[in-house]
Amino acid sequence: MSKAGPIRLAVFASGSGSNFEALVKAIRKQTLEAEVALLVSDKPDAFALTRADTLAVPSVSFYPKQFPSKEVFEREVLDHLKEADIDLIVLAGYMRIIGQTLLEAFDNRIINIHPSLLPLYPGKQGIQDAFDAGDKETGVTVHLVDEGIDTGTILAQEKVVIDPDDTIESLEEKIHAVEHVLYPEVIQTYIKKLQKEYA
Ligand code: GAR
C-alpha cells in the first residue's frame, strides 16, 4: 500500500458481474483512482468472466469443491493475489464466506456490497427478503468483511424506496442502479483513507 502507482484491486464475483463492470468503468472514467488487476471467480461459468474478457481484465476461476479444504482453496487464491500484487479485495456478488486465510492476509482490506439495509436481510437473497416482507424501503450497504455473513463495519448505506407497484425485477433494477454508483464512490473514499494511514 505504501508503494507508488494506483491501488490494485481484485474483484471477486460469483455471478453476472454488473458491479465488477461498473467498477472498471468508474476507473476508466477516472472517478475511481485504482486498477482492477484481477477478477476472481468461484464459478467458472459466471458471466462476470465473460465481462472480464470483454473489458480486457485478467481473470482466474476455481472450483472450490475440488480443494480438500477452504484453507487450501484460499491459499491458492492468495498465491494469485500476491502474484498480481493486489492491495485491496472487493467482493461484488461473491457468494462464499471469506475464511481466516484471506482475512488475515487482507486485514481491513476486504470490502463487500450487499443489497439490503444491514443488519436486515443478510445472506444470498437480500432483495427478495425485503420484497417478501412487504417493506416500504430497503437499500444497499457497503461494509468491511469479517468472519460473519454480511457483518463487519458499515462504510455506507443508501436507501431505496419500494413502491407499491414494484415487482421483484423492478426492485432489483433500482438496487443495482444504486450499487453501481455507490460502490465506486465508497471504494474511492476508503482508498484515500488507507493511503493516508499507510503514508
Ligand atoms: C449484488 O446485488 C450484490 O449486492 C449482491 O449480489 C449482487 C451481484 O450482482 N451481493 C450479495 O448478495 C452478497 N451477500 P452483480 O453480479 O451483477 O454485480
pLDDT of residue 8: 97
Ligand 1 center from residue 105 Cα (angstroms): 24
- Cα distance between residue 49 and residue 42, in whole Å: 10
Residue 109 is assigned to a structural domain of this protein: yes
Instruction: Give 131-183 pLDDT, tens digit per residue.
Output: 999 999 999 999 999 999 999 999 999 999 999 999 999 999 999 999 999 99
Largest CA distance in the chain: 51
pTM: 0.97
> What pLDDT was estimated at residue 137?
98
Average pLDDT over the chain, rounded to an integer: 96
The answer to whether residue 115 is domain-embedded is yes
CATH number for 168:
3.40.50.170
Q: Determine whether 114 is an active site residue.
A: yes
Is residue 22, in this structure, part of any structural domain at all?
A: yes
Atom number of ligand 1 nearest to Cα 126? 12
Q: Which residues line ligand 1 (CB under 6 A)?
A: 13, 15-19, 92-93, 113-115, 124, 126, 150, 179
Residue 68, pLDDT score? 98
2 assigned to some structural domain:
no
